[in-house]
Each structure stands twice: as C-alpha cells, then as structure tokens.
Amino acid sequence: MTGSREVAWLTEDEQRSWRAWITATLLLQDRLGRDLSDKHGLSSADYEILVQLSEHPDQRIRMSDLAERTLSSRSRLSHQITRMENAGLVTREQCDNDRRGTFAVLTAHGWDAIVAAAPDHVAGVRAHLIDALGSDRFAQLGRLCEDISEHLRHEAEGDGRVDL
C-alpha cells in the first residue's frame, strides 16, 4: 500500500479477532436469515420491520422514523415497504397533520407473520448465539456491542449525520 499516512496495522491477534468477528456475524446473519426465509418466507429486513411495527403502540411508524430504527436509507426502506405491501404484510397511510409524511402500518397478515416467525427466530438466536456463548459471555458481548454502537453514533453525530 502506498501513501504518506502512517497506518497502525493490526497485530496477528487483532487480525485474527477481527476476522473472527466478521465471519461470526456474517454466518449468524446468514443462518438466521435462511431460517426465516425457509420457514416463514420472510427476509431479515422483512422481519426487522415487522418487529419494529409490532412493538410500536399503534403498530404504525412514520417512514422516516422507521428508516432510522432499521438503519436503512429512506430509499431502500421505501423499496422494502413496497415489496412488503405487495405481500400484504404492511400498508402505507398518509399522515393527517403532515401531507408529506407517510406511515408504515402493520396489517393483520403482517401481525400473523411476526407471531408465527418470532418463536423460531428467537430459538435460532438462542441456539446459535446465546447458548453458544453462555449467559455471562453473551451479556458481556451485549455490553461490548453497546460500546461500539455508542462510539459509532457519536462519530456520526460529529460528522453531521444524525440518522443512526
């Protein structure tokens, strides 16, 4: 690699840990996503949106807020919601007090889908992550991930990005 910038290359141990992190997160997401698709016909993105809507008091969330909650661009979310509308999982509704705003709204079919998929998804998370680590190490992983998320959100705010 060329350039005048000094690079703090990863040590062998750091490189091994970094690659293990990447491999584990990709394999876990792939496995959980495959299970959702095979058993319930849902993508991971579908499931995350259904979770967000099902946990919200009116089972509806303004699209801009949903994009923030799912860490999606508004454009990507709009395409995803269109696919989910076509599958009957959600609908869109205009905001009464702001004609430019739109809500994503969970349908009865969407509710049935999340109710059916959630137990299998949770069982997968438990089997492939929590049980693999044990409760103490899983709690430690959670704290470490919170630290990473906080660091990255703080950086994003410093860059003028507040959409994370």
pLDDT digits (tens, 9 = 90+) for 22-41: 999 999 999 999 999 999 99
Give Rg (Cα) of the chain: 19
Identify which of 89-103, 126-140, 148-162 has the greatest average pLDDT.
126-140
* CATH 3.40.50.300, domain 29-158, yes or no: no
pLDDT of the residue at 136: 97
pLDDT of the residue at 161: 62
**Other Cβ atoms closer than 10 A to 65:** 14
What are 68's two structure tokens?
A: 């923030």
Whole-model pTM over 0.85: yes
3-state secondary structure 127-156: HHHHHHHCHHHHHHHHHHHHHHHHHHHHHH
pLDDT of the residue at 156: 84
Backbone angles phi, psi at 152, to 5 degrees: -70, -35
Q: Where are the domains of the chain?
A: 29-158
What are 117's two structure tokens?
A: 């998929």
Compute the distance between CA of residue 22 and CA of residue 124 in angstroms, rounded to an integer.
Answer: 19
CA distances 16 to 82, 90, 118, 145, Å, are 41, 42, 33, 18
What are 121's two structure tokens?
A: 């998804």
Q: What percent of the chain has pLDDT over 70?
A: 94
Q: Does residue 162 have a pLDDT over 60?
A: no
